[in-house]
Every structure is written in C-alpha cells, then in structure tokens.
Amino acid sequence: MMSEYSLTKMPTLQSDLENDYIELKSDNAVLGSTIRHHFRQTNSFVNLSDSYMEINFTITGVPETKTLVNHVGSLFRRATLKLGAVTVEQVENLNHVLLLNSMVKYSNDYAQSSGSNLFYYHDTGSAETVQAPLAAAVAGAASAINPDFNNGFRQRLKRTYDADNAAALPVSCRVPLHEFFQFCSVDKVIYGQEFEVELVRAPLTESLFGTGNDAGITVDKVSIWVNKRVPDRETELAFLSSISSGVNYDFNFLYQTGYLTGVLNNGQNQLRITTQSEKLIAAYVMLCPDAWTQVVSKSVSPNNLLDAEIILNNVRYPIRKYERLNQVDGKSRTYHALTHMLTGGDLQSGLGLTFDEYDRSTIIPFNFSAQQNLTGGPSVVELNVTTNAANTRAIVVLVSEKTVQMSYSGSSSVVTVM
C-alpha cells in the first residue's frame, strides 16, 4: 500500500491507477471580496498536499508604475479551510504571514526559479521602487551599483505591464495549497469528506506596491486543482477495510497565523495576544508602518525597535531580552538566533536573507519549544517592546503544533481539532 493511504505503517508501495487533477472552480459567479470553493465528491480519494491553486490577476487603472506586493498570496488577508463543517485551519493576516515566511524560508535558488510561479521576486535595495540600477556617475569615478535599486519590483512590474505597448499584462500563478494551509503539508489522502476553502481579499494598500495613483487589481480567476487518486484494487480494499472497523487518522502540522498590533507608542509598549488552544512553539515579530503607503516596500521594516521580549505562561523569552535592536550588534544577535532556530546550525542550509538584507528587514525570533508541558487551553502572549518613534505597528506571526483527527467508523468520518 502506498504510504499516503497508510493509516498505520505499511511498507509495500504500489502505483495508483490514476493520479490526476480536477479543477474546482469558485462558487462565486463574480469574484468579490470573499471567494469560496466547495469540494463535494465524497466518494473520492484526494491528496491536498499535491493540490494547488491557480490565481490569475491583472493590475488595472494606471499600471505602469505599480505592481503586486511580493507573492500572489498578498492578495488575501484571511484564508480558511474546513473539513465538513469543522474549521481545521484559519490563517489571519495571511499576506503578512507569507511576507515573513517568504523572506526567511525561500532560498535564493527557489526565489530565482520555482518561486517566480508564486509571483515571488526577492526585493532588493531600499524602500524606493523607481530607481536606476546604477548610481549617478561621479566625475573621475566609475558608475556604481545603486543601493536603492529594487530588482524584485522591476521583475514583478515587467510581468504586469508591457512597456513597449503601454498595456497591462494578465498574470497567472500556481501556488501549492500548503503555502496557504499547513494542514495540506501532510502527505495523506482524504476519503469520504467534503472540504471548503474561503479566501478574503486584502485592501489595496496592503496588496499594491509602486508610485502614482488610481491603480487597482482585478482577480480574474481562482481555482483549486485537486489531486484526485484512483488506487489499485488491493490498496482500495485495504484502506476501506481499515476505516470500516473504526480507526483514528491523525494529521499533525505546524499551524501559523498572524496578528497586526495597534499603533505603538514612542517608548515602552506592553501588548497582549490571546491565542487559540494549540501549543505555541515559536513567534516572529517585525515592525511595519502604521499606515502602509504603496511606495514603501512591505519587506522593509522601520529601524525604530530598541528592545523586545515575550512572556508566555510566566516564562520570559529570551532569558536576556533582545536589546540594541537598531544597532548592528543587536541585529547580529537576532540574526544568529533566527538562523539557528530555522536551520539548527546546519551549514548546508541558511536563511533567504543575507545580513545586509536582514538589516533592512529585521525579524525578531522567539523560540518556545522548551515548554513541553503545555497541553491546551488559551495561552496569552505578552509582547514587550520599546521603540524610539510613534506611528509604527508590529506584525506577529505565531507558530503552534496542531493535530486534526479524522475518526472513521464505516464510510463516515468525524473531524476533531485537537
């Protein structure tokens, strides 16, 4: 039996008779602020880890100086996945979660190849968008690279606007479903279960990037291409026999959701976030402007954070709080902590950010994995930060362990979020 069908451990691997994709179109006749998809084929074997979304869009109005913020997922503020009537994953501030994830987890190789199909092009330079690649020549000196040049912006603009013909270009992207939902990172089939996906659009100020006015975004199409399987007869009978006798089928994954704080004061700030009942293992914090303007790269964080710590269940993280975060030594400490938390010190891997890029996009990591005794119940995250300027907010991404259990009895299943 193929491992994806295995409710326990069965080593024998066989090929599916059919492994193909069916298009699940949106329930909405017109794609508005909320987009829904509902899969109702309950007699099918599907694998969501191999499924993907097709998202097509066009920049409208005055598109010659504006394009989409990095990653096509910046179109959406919230994403919800339901199995039957049970919400198994709801990601708030999806666009902010993807902003942080793409910066720290996408390797340069991925960003320069497959990532482009997600409309991801690594931002470079400062917040400026319209800059020449070379700085103005100085008398008696050779031209130098302009540190403000944003190559990622230029690459995205080239895909959304045809400068030769002064016309907007349609863009088509393919995004693995597990980019939005970590539940879909689990490589297991689902049988006898409806599922529903709901996406809520983000405001234009969080989706567009560039200069000028009067540009907009038309979402032309959102479809889910569902990976449908037809197993060989032996595998199908073994699977159906297992579920008919009653079995619990666990999906274990790392759930991520985002929070955008209120406006921070100039000075000390104490913020409280009440989480859901999952066990928290990590958090990432990044400053952003109070009101994003479309001329500011979302990946550039204001250099106004002085110190930061989190108190979770009366335990302080880190033991010695992060200090001097607007100075090179403070950023070197958090860059090291972020690298170690994500790579475990593996010299063969690394962050998607160099230290120079991290200096512009400072993401503060907090590791809670040592708290092995958390067993559910709401947790309160107390974020204490000091800034030296007003009119900033903080993006907070929380990561927690989560289990969704499908309990089969006969051909029907009960979904429980644990």
- Write the pLDDT tens digit of every residue in 154-204: 899 999 999 999 999 999 999 999 999 999 999 998 988 899 999 999 998
Q: What's the pLDDT score for residue 13?
A: 46
How large is the average pLDDT for residues 242-260? Answer: 88
Query: Tell me, what's the pLDDT at 30?
Result: 80
Q: Give the whole-angstrom CA distance, residue 53 versus residue 23.
A: 9
Of 397, 383, 390, nearest in space to 269 by CA: 383
* β pairing state of 76-83 and 364-367: unpaired
Q: Which residue type does 416 have?
A: T
Is 15 within 8 Å of 232 (Cβ atoms)? Answer: yes
Structure confidence by residue, pLDDT tens digits, 238-249: 888 877 777 888
Question: What pLDDT does 396 receive?
Answer: 96
Q: Which domain holds residue 265?
A: 3-417
Q: Average pLDDT in the 388-414 region?
A: 87
Out of 79-83, 129-133, 157-161, 193-197, least confident range: 129-133
The chain-wide mean pLDDT, for the chain, equals: 86
Per-residue confidence (pLDDT) for residue 192, from 0 to 100: 84
What is the rounded distance in angstroms from the CA atom of residue 309 to the CA atom of residue 320?
8
- Say how many domains are in the chain: 1
Token pair for residue 177?
Answer: 């479903």
Asked if 367 contacts 310 with a C-beta cutoff of 8 angstroms, the reply is no
Residue 114 has pLDDT above 60, yes or no: yes
Q: How far apart are CA 230 and CA 182, in angstroms?
A: 24
Q: Cα angle at 110 between 105 and 116, to 5 degrees?
A: 110
pLDDT > 70: percent of the chain:
85
User: Residue 259 above 80 pLDDT?
Assistant: yes
- Whether the predicted model's global pTM rises above the 0.85 cut: yes
Residues 297-338 pLDDT 10s: 777 788 899 999 999 988 999 999 999 999 999 999 999 999
Alpha carbon distance 67, 158 (integer Å): 9
